[in-house]
């Protein structure tokens, strides 16, 4: 569990402290996620709700791995891509999806830590493996839908620059563009709020333990 706590600290720094990811933090994050997955397979780790959330968090880095490997293949072997705009947008949206999934799951872990600290008995029926799996599944579904919307918007923008949009699709283009812009703004605001909430939660936990 000490190693998993260190893993969570690293992930908090990577996604909720650093303003943007860099090569070093990404590489360390990938290695730590692989290590966390190995640890979670051990019989010594009790598979409770927190472990479910951490497992889902570690698996989110698969999106980063896919993006990095795909980009390396394209650059190293000079692979000819029929739709470079589609590929470039997809790789970027995979990284965005990874960031959003990780931030939401880290916030769920923080909220669970808050419940364990201040409401250990009352919250026991909420902190179940079933609810943790359901929460993880909902997060993945919502972020996947977000990624699909971003991808569609990027493709529509690319097609509009290369050829004029038919009048039939003009409304679809405007609706998609406005929805994607709104969603990006909401994601940015939510990211700031999650940082504030996480800092507050761990501030409360730290001082409650300090006064015990």
* Cα–Cα distance list, 79 to 72, 83, 98 (Å): 10, 12, 25
pLDDT tier at 157, thresholds 50, 70, 90? confident
Nearest one of 202, 198, 28, 1 to 106, comparing CA atoms = 198
Nearest one of 30, 150, 145 to 88, comparing CA atoms = 150
Each residue of 84-135: pLDDT tens digit?
Answer: 666 788 888 999 999 999 999 999 999 999 999 999 999 999 999 999 999 9
* Cα–Cα distance list, 32 to 37, 54, 168 (Å): 9, 12, 49
Each residue of 57-76: pLDDT tens digit?
Answer: 999 999 999 988 888 877 77
Report residue 41 CA to chain centroid gap: 22
pLDDT beyond 70 at 78:
no
- ∠ CA 16-187-181, nearest 5°, is 145
* Tokens of residue 147, six digits: 């990624």
Q: What is the model's pLDDT at position 47? A: 79
């Amino acid at each position: 569990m000490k190693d998993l706590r260190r893993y969570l600290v690293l992930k908090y720094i990577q996604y909720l402290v650093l303003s943007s990811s860099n090569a070093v933090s990404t590489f360390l994050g990938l290695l730590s996620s692989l290590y966390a997955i190995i640890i979670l397979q051990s019989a010594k780790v009790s598979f409770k709700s927190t472990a479910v959330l951490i497992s889902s968090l570690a698996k989110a880095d698969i999106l980063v791995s896919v993006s990095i490997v795909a980009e390396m293949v394209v650059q190293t072997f000079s692979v000819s891509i029929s739709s470079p705009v589609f590929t470039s947008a997809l790789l970027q949206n995979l990284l965005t999806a990874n960031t959003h999934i990780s931030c939401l799951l880290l916030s769920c872990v923080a909220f669970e830590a808050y419940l364990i600290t201040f409401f250990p008995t009352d919250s026991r029926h909420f902190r179940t493996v079933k609810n943790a799996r359901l929460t993880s599944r909902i997060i993945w579904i919502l972020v996947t839908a977000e990624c699909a919307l971003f991808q569609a918007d990027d493709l529509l923008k690319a097609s509009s620059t290369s050829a004029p949009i038919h009048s039939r699709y003009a409304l679809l283009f405007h609706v998609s563009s406005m929805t994607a812009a709104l969603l990006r703004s909401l994601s940015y605001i939510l990211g700031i709020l999650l940082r504030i909430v996480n800092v507050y939660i761990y501030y409360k936990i730290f001082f409650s333990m300090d006064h015990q």
